[in-house]
């Protein structure tokens, strides 16, 4: 129906604004819960629904900034943010984001940005999926996959604020920033495992600190792409309307998830995002087969399913708190 359609001038497409609200709410929910800006779902989703890749990247990055601001406040209140590490890594990310954007602009001149970005997405998403699912299965074999966060341990780790290794932290920021500017993400889906496995942060602190980094990278990336005419503000505003609600729910739900259960959900989300990207890539490569609807369906079903799972954890956790 026309009443649900809005024309997005920069992207040059007609878009159902209800879908934009839903995508915004879902990525906000996942951003607050997993410590990501929603890029692994958002940027591919926009491209799958018809956004040119460069516009999808720029639009996704500014949306990352807006919804990460909301999630950051919640994580600060929960004492989940290592500010020193976040500013160190986030500052290095700014230079990386600029490098990533320049690569996309160069590829766009040869009409190669869409396929190249999707291939890089596939490699990263599949690699991270294997890593997180391996961790969950290993914990399951040990029998501790249902263990909740040890609040005393988490609090002690947070209070100690372990001193980051400067060279390693700056290297992580530069590398993740370049990929963030290239893929149109805040970088949280790369920062969370880097903080956990390379810097040894507890899961909850890794999530909160990555949100601070996403604020910095998303702000710079969104403005930088907008200066190139590759960011659709109408789409951003619609998605941020949904994300502003979703991020609050997601950040509140983190404490009710088992540490390895959180990683399992994260792995499933990344796997389904990879399936959607693969379908879009095949749709572009094989002219005789139309896979665009299947790709869109994967994105919407994944966002809805993961969102419902997160909300259910929040509701059940709050009920348990009320009975305690």
Contact residues for 317 (Cβ-Cβ < 8 A; gap 6+) = 253, 255, 256
Mean pLDDT of the chain: 85
Residue 318 belongs to what domain range? 2-323
What's this model's pTM, rounded to 2 decimal places? 0.83
Report yes or no: 179 and 260 within 8 Å, Cβ to Cβ.
Answer: no
- Is pLDDT of 155 > 50? no
CA-wise closest residue to 208 among 90, 81, 83: 81
Please compute the mean of the pLDDT values over residues 300-311 and round it to a whole number.
89
- Extract the tokens encoding 120: 């890089």
Q: Residue 236 has what pLDDT? A: 93
Report how far residue 73's alpha carbon sits from residue 179's, in angstroms, rounded to the nearest whole number: 25
For 283-298, the pLDDT digits (tens) are 999 878 889 999 999 9
The 10 Å Cβ neighbour count of residue 54 is: 23
- Extract the tokens encoding 141: 């074999």
% residues pLDDT > 70 (the chain)? 90
Q: Residue 157 has what pLDDT? A: 41
- Is pLDDT of 182 > 80? yes
Q: Residue 177 has what pLDDT? A: 96
DSSP string, 21-51: HHHHHHHHHHHHHHS--SHHHHHHHHHHTT-
For 109-135, the pLDDT digits (tens) are 999 999 999 999 899 889 888 887 887
Q: Which of 141-145, 196-200, 304-308 has the lowest mean pLDDT?
A: 141-145
- Is pLDDT of 36 > 70? no
Please compute the mean of the pLDDT values over residues 307-322 and round it to a whole number.
89
- Extract the tokens encoding 77: 């209140």
- Rg, C-alpha atoms of the chain: 19
- Our measurement of the distance from residue 97's CA atom to the centroid of its chain's CA atoms, rounded to an integer in Å, reads 15
Q: Which residue has the tokens 């890089």?
A: 120
Banded pLDDT at 156 (limits 50, 70, 90): very low
For 3-20, the pLDDT digits (tens) are 889 999 998 888 899 999
Banded pLDDT at 163 (limits 50, 70, 90): low
- Is pLDDT of 151 > 50? no
Report how far residue 167's alpha carbon sits from residue 145's, in angstroms, rounded to the nearest whole number: 33
Q: Taking every pair of C-alpha atoms in the chain, what is the biggest distance, in angstroms?
A: 61
- Is pLDDT of 1 > 60? no
User: What letter would DSSP give residue 10?
Assistant: T
User: What letter would DSSP give residue 161?
Assistant: -
Helices 259-285 & 203-227 angle (0-180, nearest 10)? 30
Q: Which of 36-45, 222-231, 266-275 has the lowest mean pLDDT?
A: 36-45
DSSP string, 251-295: HHHGGGS-HHHHHHHHHHHHHHHHHHHHHHHHHHH-TT---HHHH
Q: Which of 40-49, 67-76, 97-106, 113-122 has the lowest mean pLDDT?
A: 67-76
Q: Which residue has the tokens 């596939």?
A: 122
Q: Count up the domains in the chain and report the number.
A: 1
Q: Which of 27-31, 34-38, 41-45 has the lowest mean pLDDT?
A: 34-38
Report yes or no: 62 and 101 within 8 Å, Cβ to Cβ.
Answer: no
């Amino acid at each position: 129906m026309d009443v649900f359609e809005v024309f997005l001038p920069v992207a040059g497409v007609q878009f159902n604004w209800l879908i934009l609200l839903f995508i915004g709410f879902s990525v906000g929910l996942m951003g607050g819960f997993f410590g990501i800006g929603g890029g692994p779902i958002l940027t591919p989703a926009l491209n799958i629904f018809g956004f040119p890749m460069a516009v999808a990247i720029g639009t996704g990055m500014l949306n990352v900034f807006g919804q990460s601001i909301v999630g950051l406040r919640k994580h600060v209140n929960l004492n989940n943010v290592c500010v020193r590490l976040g500013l160190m890594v986030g500052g290095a990310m700014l230079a990386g984001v600029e490098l990533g954007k320049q690569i996309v602009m160069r590829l766009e001149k040869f009409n190669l940005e869409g396929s190249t970005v999707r291939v890089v997405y596939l490699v990263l998403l599949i690699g991270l999926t294997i890593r997180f699912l391996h961790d969950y299965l290993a914990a399951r074999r040990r029998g501790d996959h249902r263990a909740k966060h040890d609040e005393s341990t988490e609090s002690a780790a947070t209070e100690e604020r372990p001193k980051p290794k400067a060279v390693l932290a700056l290297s992580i920021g530069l590398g993740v920033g370049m990929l963030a500017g290239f893929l149109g993400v805040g970088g949280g889906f790369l920062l969370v495992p880097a903080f956990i496995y390379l810097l040894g942060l507890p899961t909850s602190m890794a999530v909160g600190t990555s949100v601070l980094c996403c604020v910095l990278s998303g702000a710079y990336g969104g403005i930088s792409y907008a200066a190139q005419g590759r960011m659709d503000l109408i789409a951003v505003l619609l998605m941020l309307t949904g994300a502003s609600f979703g991020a609050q729910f997601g950040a509140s739900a983190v404490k009710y998830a088992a540490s390895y259960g959180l990683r399992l959900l994260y792995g499933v989300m990344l796997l389904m995002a990879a399936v959607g990207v693969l379908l879009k890539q095949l749709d572009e490569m094989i002219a005789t087969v139309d896979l665009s609807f299947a790709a869109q369906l994967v994105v919407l079903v994944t966002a809805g399913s993961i969102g419902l799972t997160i909300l259910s954890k929040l509701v059940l956790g709050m009920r348990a708190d009320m009975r305690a």
